[in-house]
Amino acid sequence: MVSQLQAFVVVPSLGQYANTSPPSTTLNPLHSQEWKKEQPIFSCKAHVFHIDPKTKRSWIPASSSAVSVSFFYDSTRQLYRIISVEGTKAVINSTITPNMMFTKTSQKFGQWSDMRANTVYGLGFSTEAELNKFIEKFQEALPPPRRHRSPHAPRSRTRQPPTSMLSHQVWTT
């Protein structure tokens, strides 16, 4: 029973589980419905950074070492979140929205802006392959653009990436 208890961590600031396997419902039946709400989809290890809010130009380490960065899917709200926890502190809590774009800025580093969290997150990976896998999962998690528009609203154009940028950025439309 102790090993089952150690299999998950409840992060109060997130209100969700920060692990990769669901807790047993025999431990606490109240948690069973909560667990069904968000399912882990993909996890990787990366160094987490936040953009300096004062300069908007330099990175501040948000983790002291490479930490687990996980995609979760909330079937109730039909959305994805990226979560990373170091100790008891959430270093990433980002809901993926249609207008988000992940940018590969170097061979092992990428970033995205989260307007809701009012920050830019940066991730440093140990290999380019790990970064590319993260980009792939980010693309898969992007919700389709909202199609609801007023008949009086001007038509918006779809952004197309320049062909020279295709291998470097994840574009949303």
Amino acid 37: pLDDT: 81
Amino acid 148: pLDDT: 55
Write the pLDDT tens digit of every residue in 48-105. 999 999 999 999 999 999 999 999 999 999 999 999 999 999 999 999 999 999 999 9
Under the banding of pLDDT at 50, 70 and 90, the label for residue 36 is low
Of the two residues 62 and 152, the one the predictor is more confident about is: 62
**Which domains can be identified in the chain, with CATH numbers?**
41-143 (2.30.29.30)
Half-sphere exposure at residue 26, Cβ-oriented, CA atoms within 13 angstroms: 3
